[in-house]
Structure 1
């Protein structure tokens, strides 16, 4: 999902993201009209300023402010941008209700988020391909298999339950493509220190614990 902190972490690790971004929300200021939402302001990276729809420049002192969240990790830093031109602006009433004028907050994650959003807008087909590849997996698990929620609680237990579900999905998928004998044959040829253990686990999984589930009418598109 669209999360500034996570998108920034991906950028730092040279991972290129194309994540759908939410539609511009309603401004916290009731006086702000659609034409004056933050999305209508242009950020100028070279001089670290914003240009408003009226052509005025909003500047920052460069000071970082701290935004607290429900947890320490959810907090973040941001800078404030203002302009004295607001006081004499003829459309101030459409932009802000603050006596001192409009103020824009820019998060420390804004650069990475804007780059992601630009890629998302420029690559609609690539994003649709991602949906075709990934989303049907969760559709199968939730809609066809009925796993709309976990049966356990706690991160460790839920991770274990989810891993088992994904293991069954992967086995089912591999069987649909390769057949059981071919899959076992490929596992035998797998050059890995876990090869023997992997074949034994697969046999046990297929022949005992998940046999009933695999034999159900759970069709997955090849």
Structure 2
């Protein structure tokens, strides 16, 4: 008895279709690629068109290239070569590009050169479109930062401290040879006192080396070690000091940079896969969010968030012609400089300071019974009362400047006699009478922040911050596997992050 044959659907690769299939029919109505298409179609691309020359051969349409790039970042396709392949293989990219096939050089040049002046404007238009739809607010924002590894070699570094140490060695060596030359110089070649090597530059080093060679070359019986040192100094020091000056110009206010991306600074990354806390070249990315949409972004070379807020808010004002009305941020931004900035701009600041979270803990407070903030202050006599009842009298001010040049002033108060006090050792650890420093302005700002953060609205904003701004970084880094920039140089890295920000907003809109 013959076995019954299974039934299959028709399959014939040579079958000719009466009407060819349209790509439009193959794209689902709710697919994110349609949102990319709709959003880019709505924005004004005149700033981008201005990047093209009016003469020469025709170019691929910038609107098409922008759609391809943005959808690439939406779908985790970041490489220009992979984008080139996708335009030939993926129906979504083929639909966006209208069956155009730009090569990877064209895509890379468009991303790195054409978008340089226009992408910020494109991003701002996307944000304003979303704001018009009621999806986000540009007035109430949450601010946070993260570090993204640069596309740079972690072993080709330049450190400011190493340059300073080498320059100190040069000063010492030149000073020693100069002293030796003074001891053997004749009256007609008598050398003056050694040059001032407090600050050395190429001109000073070269003139010192020339003078030493001039004097010592005329002498017989010069110490062989000194001759050897002078030869090395003559050969290496002028070139080295010129190199150090170039490196210091690149460093600016930073402590380090990578030779393969001189705009990248060495920072400790939390997400380091080696888990050994080593420093890597990276950028500090700051974002403002609203409902998990990115409202503003800036990139910074300094690893700490504290000094980034001024420039970040300035960019917000430049983009939207006004400052936000409300800013919520974590303790990384809680400094006197930032509180002063926010007050000057009349921005409601729900910003924690360093010990805010610990101060909510009763156990922590119980362990610090003698801290300065627990001491009683007598405003009439302008004095504090120590735990044993002594007056701590005002003895003057201390001033310090931050790395950004912001000046802080603290008032100092000193106890009269701590000798033999039974609380000595528990109250303070210093050998003499206890001195406390009180930054009056900062204490006022911290008190104001404490009241705001513990108000009903403040508690709500603190809770919302954790699931508004932080998940955006988590989504980009973990879900979309973007942990390292592909381009080099701050200008190009800003373009790359701008594309990521637009992609994040479109993904959120699609969701």
TM-score, normalized by length of structure 2? Answer: 0.28
Counterpart mapping for 1:28-47 below 5 A = 34-41=368-375
Q: Deviations over 1:107-128 (max 9, x none)?
A: 3433213321333244433310
Q: Tell me how far 1:10 sits from its aligned partner.
A: 0.8
Q: Tell me how far 1:105 sits from its aligned partner.
A: 1.7
Q: Structure 1 residues 133 and 72 mapped into 2: Cα distance closer, same or farther (>3 Å)?
A: closer
Deviates more, 1:41-50 or 1:135-144: 41-50
RMSD, aligned CA: 3.4
Aligned to 2:430: 98
Q: Give aligned pairs, total.
A: 167
Q: Deviations over 1:142-175 (max 9, x none)?
A: 2212233544565544443332221111122223
Counterpart mapping for 1:31-180 below 5 A = 34-41=368-375, 49-61=383-395, 63-69=396-402, 71-73=403-405, 76-84=408-416, 86-87=418-419, 89-107=421-439, 108-122=441-455, 123-151=458-486, 155-176=490-511
Structure 1: runs of 5+ lacking an equivalent: 26-32, 177-222
In the alignment, the residues of structure 2 paired with residue 78 and residue 57 of structure 1 have an alpha-carbon distance, to the nearest angstrom, of 18
SS in 2 for 1:94: coil
In the alignment, the residues of structure 2 paired with residue 86 and residue 154 of structure 1 have an alpha-carbon distance, to the nearest angstrom, of 57
Aligned to 2:284: none
Aligned to 1:187: none
TM-score, normalized by length of structure 1? Answer: 0.58
Q: Structure 1 residues 72 and 175 mapped into 2: Cα distance closer, same or farther (>3 Å)?
A: closer
SS in 1 for 2:412: strand
SS in 2 for 1:36: coil
Q: Structure 1 residues 117 and 46 mapped into 2: Cα distance closer, same or farther (>3 Å)?
A: farther
In the alignment, the residues of structure 2 paired with residue 149 and residue 102 of structure 1 have an alpha-carbon distance, to the nearest angstrom, of 50
Q: Deviations over 1:56-95 (max 9, x none)?
A: 543434x4422244x3436633221223254564312211
Q: Which has the larger radius of gyration?
A: 2
For CA contacts below 8 A with separation 6 or more, give which structure has more relative contact order: 2
SS in 2 for 1:95: coil
In the alignment, the residues of structure 1 paired with residue 341 and residue 390 of structure 2 have an alpha-carbon distance, to the nearest angstrom, of 33
**More strand by proportion, 1 or 2?**
2
